Chain A
Amino acid sequence: MNLPIQCPSCGDTLHVKSLLCEHCGTEVSGNYLLPPIARLSPEKQHFLLQFILCSGSLKEMAALRKLSYPTVRNMLDDIIAELKSFQ
Chain B
Amino acid sequence: MKNMKLLLNPFVRIAGLQSLVIGLVMMAVTSVIAYYANIALDGVLDIHITTQQLTWGKAFLYPFISVAVLIVISMILAVMAKTHFRIIDLVGTILMSRIPFIIGACCGFFVKLPDVNTMVEHPASMLQTSIILTGICTVLVIIWHVVLYVNSMRVSCNMTGKTLSIVTIIAIIVSEVLSKFLLAWLL
Q: Do A and B bind each other?
A: yes
Chain A residues at the B interface, C-beta cutoff of 8 Å: 66-71, 73-74, 77
> Do the beta carbons of A69 and B12 come within 8 Å of each other?
no
Q: How far is the CA of A77 from the CA of B158 in the complex (A)?
A: 8
> Do the beta carbons of A69 and B15 come within 8 Å of each other?
yes
Q: Closest 7 A-B residue pairs measured CB to CB?
A: A68-B15, A74-B158, A70-B89, A71-B12, A70-B15, A70-B155, A70-B156
> Do the beta carbons of B13 and A77 come within 8 Å of each other?
no
**Bitwise interface map of B from 50 to 87 toward A, beta carbon under 8 Å scored 1, else 0:** 00000000000000000000000000000000001110
> Do the beta carbons of B158 and A73 come within 8 Å of each other?
yes
B89 to chain A, nearest CB (A): 5
Partner of A68, one of B14, B84, B85, B158: B14
Using A74-B155, A74-B158, A77-B158 as known contacts, say yes or no to A69 and B89 having CB atoms under 8 A apart: yes
> Do the beta carbons of B15 and A71 come within 8 Å of each other?
yes
| Interface size counted on chain B using CB atoms at 8 A | 14
Q: Which partner residue on chain B sits nearest A68 by CB separation?
A: B15
**A residues less than 8 Å from B86 (CB atoms):** 69-70
**B residues less than 8 Å from A70 (CB atoms):** 11, 15-16, 85-86, 89, 155-156, 158
**B residues less than 8 Å from A69 (CB atoms):** 15-16, 86, 89
